Chain A
Amino acid sequence: MRISSRISSILRNLFRKQQVEGQLDDEVRAFVDMVTEERMAAGMSASEARRSAQVEFGGIEQVKQAVRDRRAGAGLELFWQDVQFSLRQLGRAPGFTIAALAALALGIGANTAIFSVVNAVLLKPLTYPDADRMVEFLAPSTVIANNLACIPEFHFFQSQTSVFKEVAAYDNAGPGYNLAGDRPEQLHGIHVTEAYFRVYGAPIQLGRTFTQQEDAPHGGKVAVLSYGLWQRKFAGDKAIVGKSLSLGNEPYTIVGVVGKDFVSDPQADIWLPFQFAPVSDDMNHFFQVAGLLKPGVTVAQANAQLKLAAAEYHRDYPNTDPRQEFLVGTLQDSIVGNVRQSLLVLLGAVSLVLLIACANVANLLLVRATGRKREFAIRSALGAGRARIVRQLLTESVLLSLAGGFLGLGLGFVGVRALLAVSPAGLPRIGEDGSAIGIDWRVLSFTLSVSLLTGILFGIFPALSASRSDLNSALKESSNRSGTGFRQGKTRSLLVISEVSLALVLLIGAALLIRTFMALHGVGPGFDFHNVLTMEMSLNGDRYQKTAGVSQLSKDGRDRLNAIPGVELAAAAYWLPIDVEDAMPFQVIRRPVKKDCCGSKWMSVSPGYLRLFRIPILRGRDFTENDKAGAPGVALINEALAKQLWPNEDPVGQQVMCGQGIGPELDGEPVRQIVGIVADSHNSGLGQPADPMMMVPIAQVPDGYAAAYSNIQPLFWLVRTHGDPHQAIAAVTDQLRVASGGFPVAHIRTMDEVMGRSTARESFNMMLLTIFGAVALVLAAIGIYGLMAYSVEQRTQEMGIRIALGADRSALRKLVMWQGMRLALLGVAVGLAASFGLTRLIASFLFGVQPWDPIVFTTVPIILSAVALVAVLLPAVRASNVDPMQALRAE
C-alpha cells in the first residue's frame, strides 16, 4: 500500500504538476486568508491583519519550496530541472562553454588515450584459461639474461612435478617457414613441445595437437595450423586434417587446427614439434620455457623448490656454472617486462595535465560565478537554500565535464591510434599497430569516473564560494562588478600557482627525455646505417642443416646481389650489428685451461659484412672468400674483447677454441686464429656500451651450429645501395628467390628503420611527455592571462582614478606585471622543488643526462617565465592604457 501510494504520488507530481502546484497555491492562500480574517475579527485593520498574517506564515515562497522539496520524486524532478537550467546557462555563455570543453576534452582525452594503452598492456588479463598459474622460466645470472633455456634445463623443469603440472618449450622467435605456392610466402612458425597447447589452454578447432610420439626424434613431419592460416590459405576446409602442406619444399602432414581466439606469444601461423632427444647434453640455450603451476602452488613455492633441486642439476651436469639459478615468474610479468614503470610514469604525467585543465576550468567558473552573483542572490531570495544552489552549480560543472569526457573519449581513441601510427612504441600486447587497444568497459568506466571526479573537483570550490554570498549586499549592488573579495582572489591565485608548478614539472620531465633522445641519437653506433636494406629469409630443408649449404647460398646470393645495378655491396649474417644476442664460451690456447675462462658475444658473418656497415678494422685483416670450410679457422674480435683479454699484448695471431662443453652443435669446431681487431659498435642497443664480441665466417661454423641456426631463426640479407635502398627491393627479392631455389624474403626494412625501432620506446615516451608539456604550458599561460586580464578588468575604475590622480602609466604597467609574475615565479619555485623529487622516477629512462641536469633545470624555468611574462604583458598594457574619463563614467 505504501509503495503503490508513493509511486502514484511520484507520477502525479511529475506529470500533473500544474494541478498539484495550483492546489498548493490555493491551500497556502486559504491559510493566510483565514488567519487574516481571524485577526480582523479580533479588531485589526484589514491591511494590518494581512501583514501580520503573512509575518506569522513566514516566507510564502520558502514554505512552498519546502513542500516541493519534500514531495515524492522531488529529487528526480529537481535533477531534471537542474540539468535543463544548466544547459540553458551553458548555452547562454558559448565562449566560456567552448573554452571549458576544450580544456576538459584535451585533459580527459589524453588520460583516456594513455589509460587505454595501460589497460591493453597492464590490466587486461591474459586470455589463457589458467593465466594466473602460468609461469615463465627466467635466467637471472647467465652471461646474457635473455631467459633462454637449453634441453637439459628443459628436462630439469619437466622433472619438477611437485610444483609444475605441465612444462612446455617454445621458440623465442622462430625461423619462419616458406609456404610454397604461386606466390611463396614466409609463414610465422614456431617449434613447440607437445605440452605447449595444454599449458596455453589452446582450444582445438579441428583434429588434434601433437602426440608424444610425434614430438620425439624421428616423429615425422607434422604441423598444427592457426585458425587464421586455415581460413586464409585453405578456405576453412573442414577436411584439412591429414592433408599435406609444403614448407620449404618438404611435405608436412596437418594434424590439427587451433581455435579462432587463440593468441600465442610469439604470434604464430603454424606450429611444429621440437622433437627433442629425451637425453641430451646440448648446452645451447635457444628456446623459452613456460609452465603451468599445480593448483595451489605459488610462484614463491615453485622458486623455493627449484632452488633446492638446482644442486641436483649441477651434479648431473658438472660442466655447468654452479652459480646458475633457476627461477620462474608469472607469464604476465615476463610479457609486460619493464614497460610497467614507463607506462605508470606516463599515466602520472597525463593526470597532471588533467589537474592543470581542472584548475583552468575552476578559474573560469570562479569568474563566471562572480558575474552571476545577483542571479544567486535572487534565487536564494526566492527560496533556494545554499545546498540547492551548490547542487545546481555542481550539476552544471558535472554536465560540463561529462560532455568534455565524451569528447575526450573520441579524442583519446583517435589520438592513441594516431600516436602509435607515428611512433610505434614497441609495447607488448598491443597487437599489430595497436589494434588490441580499444574501448572496453574498463576504459569506459575510467573515463566516466574521471569525468565525474573532475566535474566535482573543479566545480566544488567555485560553487561553495558563489553560494556564500551575502544576499542583502548582493541585491543592493548596482553593478555586477562587485565582490572580487579577498578570499576569492586568493583561491584563484592558488589555482594559477599550482597550474604553473605542475606545468613546470611536466616540462622538466619532457626536457629530460628530449635530452635523452638527443643523446641516444648523438651516439655513434659504430657503423654506417644509411642506404642499407635488410631482410630475412627462412632456411628450411635438409640442405641448410649443413654448413656447406648455407655457405653456398651465402656465396650465390651475394654474387647475384652484387651484380644488381645500384647495389654497392651485399652480405649475409645471422644478426644485425645493433642487436647481437648470441654468446659463446671459449678458451685461449696456450693459456691455462680454466672453467668459465672467457666468453663473449659471437656471430657468424659472410665476407663483406664489415665493409658493408663500414666498421673499421683496427688491426689485421677482414674475412675473405678464402676463409672457407677446410681452410685454417679464423676469427675477428672487437676492441672491447681485445682490451678485456689481451690488455698488454697483441691479440692478432692468438688462438682460441670455442664452445667446448656446449654439446653436439659445436662438434668439429676448429681452433681459430684471431686475424684482426674491429672497432666497437653498439651491439646491445644504443643506450648500452659495446659488449665484447667475436665474429667468425659463416663458411667455417660446424654443421651442428648451422643446423641450429636454420632451425631457430632466419638469415639476414644485407644490401648497401648507392641511392635510395627502397629502389632495389624488387630486384633484390627476385635475385634471392632464384639463388635460394624459390624462397621468399620477409621483413624488408632499411637499416634506418631498424635503428628507429631500436629507440621506439624512448621516442614514444619523449613524444608523449613533450605533448603533455606543451599542453600544460599553454594551459598555464591561459590561466595566468585569464587571471590578470580579469583582475585588470575588475579594477578599471581604480586604474582610471589612479591615472586621473597623476599615477605614472608605466608604473601602473609594472604593478600589474609584477602581480602576475609574482604568481608565476612562485609556481616556478614550487615546481622546481617538486621536480627535484619527481625526476628520480624517470631516472631509469634517461640516457646521457642526469635527473637534475643543470641545463634543463635552468632553461625550462626561464622558458616558462618568459611565456608567463608574455601572458601578463597584454593585461598590463591594457591597464596602463585605461582612459580615466571613460573608466569613471562607466560606473
Chain B
Amino acid sequence: MSPKPTNLLQGTLDLLVLKALGSGDLHGLGISRRIEQITQGTFLVKPGSLFPALHRLEEAGWLSSCWGESENNRRAKFYRLTRAGKSQLAVEAEQWARVVLAMTNALRAT
C-alpha cells in the first residue's frame, strides 16, 4: 500500500467507476471499496466526489440503478453498467492507454 493516497486525475474517476462496475452491480460503498481494492489503495474515493459522479454518469445514460438488498440485508441503491456504459468504458480505457503510452514515452525520452 502506498503511504499517501494520490489525488485523482481529472477524468480518471469516471473511468474507475465504470471499471469497478464492469465485474458486476454494486452500491455506493461497494464501488468505493472496489476502487480502493483494484488500485491497491492508491485511490480513496470520498463520497463528496463519488456521489456527484454516480449521478452524473447515470444521467449520461452510462449507468442504470435499482434498489436492492445489501449483503447485510440493508436497502441500498445498486448501480449497473448499461450497454452505452460498456462501450464508453472501452472507449475511455483505450484513450487512457494512449495517454499512458504517450506520457511514458515522453518521460523516457532523453
Contacts and interface: CB of A to CB of B under 8 A. Distances in A.
Contacts of A9: 58-59
A70 B77 CA distance: 18
A841 interface: no
Contacts, number: 71
A63 B47 contact: yes
B96 interface: no
Nearest to B72: A37
A27 B61 contact: no
Contact of B74 (A34, A59, A62, A67): A34
A421 interface: no
Interface in B17-50: 27-29, 46-48
Contact of A27 (B46, B72, B76): B76
Interface residues of B, number: 22
Interface in B33-88: 46-48, 51-52, 55-56, 58-61, 67, 70, 72, 74-77, 84
Contact of A1 (B29, B47, B56, B84): B84
A23 B48 CA distance: 17
Nearest to B27: A30
A71 B56 CA distance: 7
Contacts of B74: 30, 33-34, 37
Contacts of A64: 51
A700 B76 CA distance: 113
A657 B27 CA distance: 113
A66 B70 CA distance: 25
Interface string A2-18: 10011001000000000
Contacts of B59: 5-6, 9, 71-72
Contact of A30 (B55, B70, B84): B70
Contacts of B60: 2, 5-6
A30 B46 contact: no
Given A2-B84, A70-B55, A30 B77 contact: yes
B77 A27 contact: yes
Interface residues of A, number: 28
A281 interface: no
A57 B84 contact: no
B47 A70 contact: no
Nearest to B30: A34
Contacts of A59: 48
Interface string A56-84: 11110011101101111000000000000
A71 B61 contact: no
Contact of A26 (B52, B58, B77): B77
Contacts of A23: 77
A28 interface: yes
Contacts of A2: 60-61, 84
Contacts of A69: 52
A62 B61 contact: no
A774 to B, nearest CB: 55
A30 B76 contact: yes
Nearest to A73: B59
A602 B84 CA distance: 93
B72 A34 contact: yes
B28 A27 contact: yes
A31 interface: yes
Nearest to B58: A9
A26 B78 CA distance: 12
A70 B58 CA distance: 11
Contacts of B61: 1-2, 5-6
A35 interface: yes
B70 A57 contact: no
Given A2-B60, A5-B59, A26-B77, A31 B29 contact: yes
Given A5-B60, A31-B47, A66 B52 contact: yes
Nearest to B28: A31
Identify which of B47, B48, B51, B84 gathers the most chain A CB atoms within 10 Å of its CB.
Answer: B47
A35 B29 CA distance: 8
Contacts of A33: 74
Interface in A735-776: none
A63 B84 CA distance: 27
Interface string A452-485: 0000000000000000000000000000000000
Contacts of B28: 27, 30-31
B83 to A, nearest CB: 9
A72 B55 CA distance: 9
Contacts of A6: 59-61
Nearest to A23: B77
A67 B77 contact: no
A28 B77 CA distance: 9
Interface string A655-687: 000000000000000000000000000000000
Contacts of B47: 28, 31, 56-58, 63
A58 B48 contact: yes
A67 B29 contact: no
A30 B69 CA distance: 11
A34 B46 contact: no
A587 to B, nearest CB: 93
A67 B51 contact: yes
Contacts of B56: 70
Identify which of B55, B56, B58 gathers the most chain A CB atoms within 10 Å of its CB.
Answer: B55
A58 B48 CA distance: 7
Nearest to A35: B29
A41 to B, nearest CB: 9
A62 B49 CA distance: 11
B55 to A, nearest CB: 5
B75 A30 contact: yes
B11 to A, nearest CB: 15
Contacts of B77: 23, 26-27, 30
A71 B29 CA distance: 20
A666 B46 CA distance: 103
10 contacts: A27-B51, A30-B29, A34-B29, A34-B70, A34-B76, A37-B72, A63-B51, A64-B51, A71-B55, A72-B59
Kindly list the 7 A-B residue pairs having the minimum CB-CB distance in the complex, ordered from nearest. A5-B61, A9-B59, A70-B52, A30-B76, A27-B77, A66-B52, A34-B29
Given A58-B48, A62-B48, 13 more contacts: A2-B84, A6-B60, A26-B77, A27-B76, A30-B75, A30-B77, A33-B74, A34-B70, A37-B72, A37-B74, A63-B52, A66-B48, A66-B52
Interface of B: 27-29, 46-48, 51-52, 55-56, 58-61, 67, 70, 72, 74-77, 84
Interface of A: 1-2, 5-6, 9, 23, 26-28, 30-31, 33-35, 37, 56-59, 62-64, 66-67, 69-72
